[in-house]
Structure 1
Amino acid sequence: MKHPVRRWLIGIAAVLLLGTGALVWVASTRLPSDEEVAVRISEAFEKRFGIGLKIGGAHWALWPSPVLVLSQVATDQARPITLRRITLQLKLRKLLQRVVAIDEAEIESLVLPRESVRAFRGKGPKPKEAGHLFSLPAPWALAPIPLEKLRWRDIVWIDRRGIELAYDGDVVFDTGWRPRQARLERAGASPPARLRLDREADRDRWRTRIDVGGGTWNGVSLFELLPDDTMRVSAELEPRQIDIEGLVHAFGRRTAVAGKFSGQTTLVAQAGELGALIRSLHTRTTFSVKPATLTRLDLAKAVTTAGISRGGTTPLDELTGTLDTQGGEDGIVMRYTGLKARSGLLTASGNLKLFNRKLDGEVAVDLVDGVVGVPLKVGGSMSDPEVSLTGGALAGAAVGTAVLPGVGTALGARIGQQVEKLFGEEEPAKKKTVPPQPQRSPGVSR
């Protein structure tokens, strides 16, 4: 290469570098200091949500790439929402054009107490506002994809009972804040509890894969923006061989049923903003558990004693039914309907409601050796369930025992229950009379 040409190339490169440096220097002289950045973000947050925000540290830099780091962030609440660090990587070219385009955001150690999050209800972005939590002063604007990738580690949700659940995950966005790909998983869960979404082309339809309890819960999810500006999310999923104990343990809960279930699930949620959308979630799952075990109840014992029964186990060949869940202001209501259980010892059918860990339901039990249709009341809690006869059924059982032990007890209880339904429950203040222990008919199992 001739020396004049080389000198020209070196000169052009030097001019480009100097020009870029000059642009960065000019842009940097117009940017606020780290302290001013922290103050402006705090003020904008309080203006938007009506809740103060404390920022322990803020750092802003343009070189070698634009970055904004906030650390030790906390809301001004009795039990604050806290954030150890958030890092935003911005695009320099867009920034110089006064366009906000975040290449990647990373959240580390965000703690969300339920009662503190409730203070933000109704203040989240509406569908048409989803592009801007904070208004940008002219001439600044948002890019068509304001945030391309979001990653989070150790986001902790603390529920009303103080149970802490940590989540990791990431999401890659398309325009309109549609996830192109997303992953959410329970940190440290074994076996893994993980949700993955993959968008199908440019449609508002996602392939949905869930791994939990050693099984799968796969299907398709849909998103719709309705004419009244509300959002609607729906899904059709197929649970396959999911271990119930593994499922609930992954989310810090306990269960009174053991076994693996399969079935069909439909899901729908509809609301005008994200928080309300989550709270409105309704699911319906038809399920079959083969085999199953009631780990804290002995139904056969409850039938043969005609009294309150706690503890024990009931092995079942199969348990089927439908579970409906409905979110609300105070938690999730779970309703089990059409429950049917069978084993070599007994068959049973009934319905059950579970809310705030309290059980309320009825079940009718048939023993294979002739005791038919004994009506039992299910109560107590998930950690200490109990079955018993209602007041009317107890009175009927007492009559049945006097007339005919065993089968007479069951028939009397059944008649007593029907009379009770016709004339109403007895007064709560009245004490229920427990009948004498019935004699066992020949062949009646315990």
Structure 2
Amino acid sequence: MSSSAPPVDRPARRGGLWHHLDFRRLWIGETVSQFGTMVSQLALPLLAVLVLHASTFQVGLLAACESLAFVVVGLPAGAWVERMRFRSVLLVNDLVRAALFASVPLAQLLGVLTMGQLYVVAIATGVSTVFFDVAYQSYLPRLVDRELLVEGNAKLQASESVSQIAGPSLGGALVQLLGAPYAVLVDALSFLWSAGWVRAIEARPPRPETDPDRNLLREIREGLAFVLRDRMLRAIAACTGSANLFASMAGAVLYVLLARQLRLSPGVIGLIGSTSAVGGLIGALVAARVAARIGQGPAIWIPIAVTGPCALVVPFVQRDWTLALLAAAQVVMWIGIVVYNITQVSFRQALCPPHLLGRMNATMRFLVWGTMPAGSFLGGVLGTTIGVRGTLLLAGVGSSLAFLPVFLSPLRTMRELPVYAERASGDESDAGLVASES
């Protein structure tokens, strides 16, 4: 850990993160925000399908708008965030997203809600999320010691999974009770709640130094170079990026299948969405033990390889017992996804020098989330041309093969992954990669 920005609350080392006050504040705020996010992820596409009567292409375009920001501002966001206080970035973007989501029920109340507004809200919240996520992933290693990163990421992933279990069911109920536009208001309130907890965090990492010679393009290149020169990071980016491409392709047409073709109620759709998060919670609880048993490298590729083919169940679902099969497949698939995510994100955070954390995270987000708008757009186009089920089948095949980049990399057999270490002097010029002793 850099001597210039030591994590606060060091007694937490002895009791884990349960006794780390600032981490708990971040954790609580994020958990509540995740609940609201799960509501809007269900409410927005249902609003487009059921209220605004959007076409399959329009629903796909809406999904593309939600992730477009990772392509447009993904790379410069890392360099910009490194010039700011991470806590301030989190706070401002919580408030921005609260205002954007609150505009949806207001427009519906005034009778002026359109697909155009949904596109604008999706794009603007996407930009805000880019900055929030880069700051969030960069703040955690400054907030806690590096040996606690896996525990921290696992706890955050566990709370996210719990919200994914209850969130879609809550969202489905709220859509039926209040209507989709007003269900989005829950998300706006959740971001206000998150902002309150972020504001209470006491840790104040040093303000980034002002360097008159700083150059945005040079800093972006440094972040790109760090990721692209490392074979393991390249493999992770390729795996996650391809998985997100095909998942977005499927997600663009999934609600068209469930809501329009199978005519399921919002409550049932929400319940189906919740089942995937059961697997996510299990994955968060077992991730550390899986890595300890099979090794850190295999814990990255084996889970995603074994569970990826579960996506092939989706295109064959009917309004019968196959809905239960879909739910079971999602549980298994999300166990693998979450074990993969916790392991690879913790590895990335431990590998990166502190001064490059923001740019590394932004570069990875650009590479792995930048495929999502393309996947969503492609899903909308293919859903219109070859049909919804054909699109889901193609996406399932792609998801089954997404593990290949990490399987064909050194990660396949590495039980212990390298970490970034600095000499006792704290001089980053003497820093280097060392093998993990854990």
TM-score range, shorter chain: under 0.3
Query: Normalised by the size of structure 2, how large is the TM-score?
Result: 0.20
Higher helix share: 2
The higher relative CO (CA closer than 8 Å, separation ≥ 6) is in 2
Query: Normalised by the size of structure 1, how large is the TM-score?
Result: 0.20
Higher strand share: 1
